[in-house]
Structure formats: C-alpha cells, structure tokens
Amino acid sequence: MGLFITLEGPDGSGKSTQIRRLSELVGRLEIEVQTTREPGGTPISDQIRSMLLNPENHAMTAKTEMLLYAASRAQHVAEVIRPALAAGRVILCDRYIDASLAYQATGLGLSLEEVRHINSIATDGLWPTRTYMIDVPCEIGLERAFASRGKSLDRIEQRDLEYHRRVRDQFLQIAKEEPNRIVIIDGTQPVEAVTEAIWQDLRQHLRRSG
C-alpha cells in the first residue's frame, strides 16, 4: 500500500510549486511517486473544476459549490488516488478535504459536520497520512496570485479579503486539532526553504512508513 500526502494552504501559498519540487526529491529515493490536484485530476473532475472556478458562475450557491467539490473528489479518489495507493505509489495531492472544510464550510458558512459527512461519503473515508499546511497571510497570498495570473483570477480567488481570512483561520484551526497528521509550514520563506522544511519531515515519514 502506498502513502497519501496532501498539501494545503490559502490561495497563493505556493502548493503547486512545492508539489513539483517534492516529487523530484521523492523520485530520487527510487520511490514511485504520482502528483495530482483538486478539484480535477480526471477528465470528469476537470470538467467540474471548470464549472467551479469559472467567474461567470456567480449564481452558484454555497451548497452547490460544496457538492460539486465532493463529486469531483469522489471521481478523483475512485479513478486516481485509490488505484495509485493500491499500486504502492506515494501520492502528492494539491488540496483535499481540508480545503472543503476551510473554503466551503467556514468560508461560506456551511456546517462543518455536514461538509465532513458529505466528503466521507464521497471518499469512502479516505484521509491522507500526512498533510503539509503552507501558511501565508492572506494579503501576501492574494498578491502572489494576482502577480502570477493578473485579471484572470478564478471565481474563488476573486472573493473578498474577509472570506480569505476565514479560510486561513480554519486551516490553522484544523492543524491545531490534528497535530499528528498536519504540519504547519511558514510559506513566507523563500521557495527553497519551504521545500527543505517539508522535506525534512516527509523524508522521515517515508522512512517510518517504508
């Protein structure tokens, strides 16, 4: 059985960059590694991603958004994550259920228990063994997102600062409640320092699990 590792954090925290860098480091240990992302990761999930992130879909309700994320996740787990784990691979996933708890539950005012329950059904209770929460102040994260994508910010990124602050606060609360699974990483450091901070822990996690 493989290992399921996720990276979480506010928009602009640098998760995608770190996924690429960590994949190279894991591969150097001659461990089979696979990277993926949410929402997305399969053709069906990518179609749902397009609906979720399209700024024109401003009429989408909070509950619709939450259910679409869960639907995308259900397909992703069934088609990509579980088969990869069964094949013994290390999975590095950009976002997972923690993101829904932060963005849809706390961010949009939905019930945390409701969001957990729906996602438990969607994933058949699959949780990562390790999560790296890359934390950055919202102002910095949104600045980075704007610098990299400019006016093409997606529907979620375009939300106001107070929304993004609620999201960040919930990520930190989840990390506080689950210290055995979640490691908080200071995302304001240089990219190389963030990679090193994650790698120091991940390398040990791989050894313990291998």
> What is the amino acid identity at position 83?
P
Q: Does the annotation place 14 within a ligand binding site?
A: yes
Q: Is 13 annotated as belonging to a binding site?
A: yes
11 labeled binding residue: yes
26: its two tokens: 């894991």
Question: How far apart are alpha carbons 118 and 60 in whole angstroms?
Answer: 18
The label of the residue with tokens 């375009």 reads: 158
Does residue 12 have a known ligand-binding role?
A: yes
Buried residues in 115-130 as b, exposed as e (16+ CB within 10 A) = beebbeebbeebebeb
Q: Which residues of 84-100 are buried (b: 16+ CB within 10 A; e: fewer)?
A: bbeeebbbbbbbbbbbb
Q: Nearest to residue 70, comparing CAs of 30, 101, 92?
A: 101
Residue 141 counted as an annotated binding residue = no
Strand order in the sheet with 130-135: 33-37, 90-94, 3-8, 130-135, 182-186
Task: Give, rounded to a whole angstrom, the gap between the first and last alpha carbons of the chain.
Answer: 10
10 belongs to an annotated ligand binding site:
yes
List binding-site positions for ATP: 9-16
Binding residues: 9-16
